[in-house]
Chains A and B, each alone.
Chain A
Amino acid sequence: MKPPPFTYCDPESVDEAVGLKSEYGADSLVLAGGQSLLPLLNMRLVRPEALIDINKIGDLQKIEGRSDILEVGAGVRQYELEDHALVGELVPLLPEAAGYIGHIETRHRGTVCGSLAHADPAAELPCTAVTLDATVVARSPSGTRTIEAQHFFQGRMATALEPEEVLVAVRYPVTPQAAGHGFVEVARRVGDLALAGAAAVVNLDENGHFTSVSVGVSGISDTPVRARAVENALIGEAPTEENITRAADEIVPSVTAGDDIHATRAYRRHLATVVVRRAITAAVASAHERSDGK
């Protein structure tokens, strides 16, 4: 099908975009990469009165690294995460996860922040955002506010954004140099949304024991899930196969997705433990590589 009629707005500044968003409120949608929004429009699952295209706003197209923060503007496309030197250096989980998003043709167009705003619980970037304790930056006529990823995702394709707000950037804390990371997904075909996926970032002390563990899981609930019970089970422990496997089982109670055409809940419970175990194991290997490389 074809998109329904809408008023097409293509502002050239953030201020103008925010003005339009506040004018139209819930009757408007922001168009960034459009790789989820255009399908919704073509299938007429959404019928916004106004479409606010932010692609002409140069200020949103920046990737900026500060001492402790990597900021990615709302115009930055997903493929840019894959081979951007600064991203790989400051938050190496991002390029790793980005390669799993859709296909290269959609990553050429789809944006990082657009994926967060779309908030598909099976998607890669929302999962990495909760894993990395990212912060979403939203602008409205009354100013700028920041929202922790944990609180940003409120349900299946539902976020904490207010109707008059525009998501303008996401901020990732810089990952410590010695930390290891891992990203794992199980999907039927390359590019499909994951049946379940997991991201992990770990730090090990001089004895090789976990000092910090951060694990996010996609595809198992209405939002990406931060696996606190898994993390807590590993702090202070040695990264043995047995310890990791036992800790990974702690994810099971967080699997709330019911049976659907893609998988049963029982299968997703099994998959969740598998992807968590694999992601942590990969993160440990990556931490070892980093300490060996010093």
Chain B
Amino acid sequence: MTTSTAAKYGTARRAVTVRVNGRHVTREVSTRTTLADFLRDELDLVSVHVGCEHGECGCCTVLFDGLSVRSCLMLAVQADGHAVETVESLSANPAELHPIQEAFAEEQGLQCGFCTPAMLLRTKEIIDAGREMTDAEVRHEISGILCRCTGYQNIVNAVQSAGAKLRGPTAGGRD
């Protein structure tokens, strides 16, 4: 490493400022800390579930600048100056569920709950995209997140039910 490179990039820790669930937070992190570990260990957002740490399971999904990403496949330093939403962003008050959360509860769209925060965020993204989908399309759209319990049927039901709640009672789109 040249002297100038060392001066600019030699540090193993850096301060990052990230807008997390609407609030700016600044922390010093190791440059090799993943975004998932940063959210869990530094910010106590333990809804970010770390399953496989190599992008297979999707349980660490968060919204990064509004787009779903696997937070185990990003570094915390890459979030500096960006916005991250975890499932905590859906409802500020734990006693009041977001319509998507209500739908998952009503349809039993979960069993062990490990994939649920990721599924809820992905559902929000699917519904925000505005397009009504068939059950088969929903199944395809959530395929990046593995659920080992439900067999997906109730999750698909929950996504459709949440879509109907948020779009209004006339929404159809079932197979």
Contacts and interface: CB of A to CB of B under 8 A. Distances in A.
B9 A7 contact: yes
Interface stretch (A32-40, A138-146, A166-174, A258-266): A32-40
Which interface class (under 10, 10 to 19, 20 to 34, 35 or more) fits A?
20 to 34
A6 B53 CA distance: 18
Which interface class (under 10, 10 to 19, 20 to 34, 35 or more) fits B?
35 or more
Nearest to A189: B143
A109 B53 contact: no
A103 B73 contact: no
B14 to A, nearest CB: 8
Contacts of A232: none
B69 A108 contact: yes
Contacts of A9: 5, 8-9
B40 to A, nearest CB: 12
A2 B37 contact: yes
A6 B31 contact: yes
Interface stretch (B54-62, B91-99, B163-171): B54-62
Interface in A188-208: 189-191
Interface residues of B, dominant DSSP:
mixed
Given A106-B73, A108-B67, A39 B54 contact: yes
B55 A8 contact: no
Given A35-B55, A38-B74, A103 B143 contact: yes
B144 A106 contact: yes
Contact of B1 (A2, A8, A23): A23
B23 interface: no
B72 A20 contact: no
Which 8 A-B pairs have CB atoms at the shortest separation, nearest pair first?
A103-B144, A39-B54, A8-B31, A38-B73, A190-B143, A108-B67, A3-B32, A9-B9
Interface of A: 1-10, 20, 23-24, 34-35, 38-39, 41-43, 50, 53, 55, 79, 102-106, 108-109, 189-191
Interface of B: 1-2, 5, 8-10, 12, 14, 31-34, 37, 53-55, 58, 61, 64, 67-70, 72-75, 77-78, 122, 140-141, 143-145
